[in-house]
């Protein structure tokens, strides 16, 4: 018998001072049995960092041709393709062909850095790619606090995400490994 996904509900209050975006979001995420709590948290952080009323979580673990998060235009064009983790260079190149902008959010510390060093050469020609890593220690700290129903207040200022909730406050300072050209 196949294992079923676990459903998590996140209530996010986002105040993005950098982009002047202020909104509440109710996210329902299915954590696939193969997905870790850290990856789940990295998906939520990616959503908070890129928040938009049209930004949607997808079923990328089950559908390999979909991004983890997708911002689509009203006519169905993919404006922003967002992946979490360490996707293959081939997948990123394909995403750049389908989307106006591609962002990858690695979150696994030194293994992510090794991944980036290996993939970087193949991806140098992609002008619409940015790679912004979430620090592993903060992702793990937040993952340890996640419950099936979680409420976070996220303030973004100068690129830093301040995540507050029942756990207290965790400062997540993403590291830009590659900016959009």
pLDDT tens string 96-145: 999 999 999 999 999 999 999 999 999 999 999 999 999 999 999 999 99
Does residue 60 register a pLDDT over 60? no
Torsional class of 159: left (φ above 0), alpha (ψ -120 to 50), beta (otherwise): left
Q: Domain extents for the chain?
A: 6-178
Burial of 2 (0-12, 13-18, 19+ CB in 10 A): exposed
Of 81, 74, 178, nearest to 133 (Cα)?
178
Q: What is the CATH number of domain 6-178?
A: 3.10.640.10
User: How confident is residue 32, by pLDDT bands cut at 50, 70 and 90?
Assistant: confident
pLDDT per residue as tens digits for the range 131-175: 999 999 999 999 999 999 999 999 999 999 999 998 899 999 999
| pTM, two decimal places | 0.93
């Amino acid at each position: 018998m196949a294992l079923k996904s676990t459903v998590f509900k996140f209530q996010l209050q986002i105040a993005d001072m950098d982009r002047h975006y202020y909104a509440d979001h109710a996210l329902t995420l299915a954590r696939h049995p193969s997905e870790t709590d850290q990856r789940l948290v990295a998906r939520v952080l990616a959503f908070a960092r890129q928040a938009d009323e049209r930004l949607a979580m997808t079923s990328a673990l089950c559908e390999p041709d979909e991004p983890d998060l997708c911002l689509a235009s009203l006519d169905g064009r993919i404006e922003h393709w967002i992946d979490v983790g360490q996707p293959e260079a081939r997948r990123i190149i394909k995403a750049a062909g389908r989307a106006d902008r591609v962002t990858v959010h690695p979150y696994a510390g030194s293994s992510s850095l090794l991944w980036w060093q290996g993939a970087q050469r193949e991806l140098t020609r992609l002008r619409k790619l940015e790679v912004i890593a979430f620090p592993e220690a903060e992702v793990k700290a937040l993952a340890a606090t996640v419950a099936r129903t979680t409420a976070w207040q996220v303030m973004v200022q100068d690129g830093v995400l301040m995540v507050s909730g029942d756990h207290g406050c965790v400062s997540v300072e993403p590291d830009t490994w590659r900016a959009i050209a």
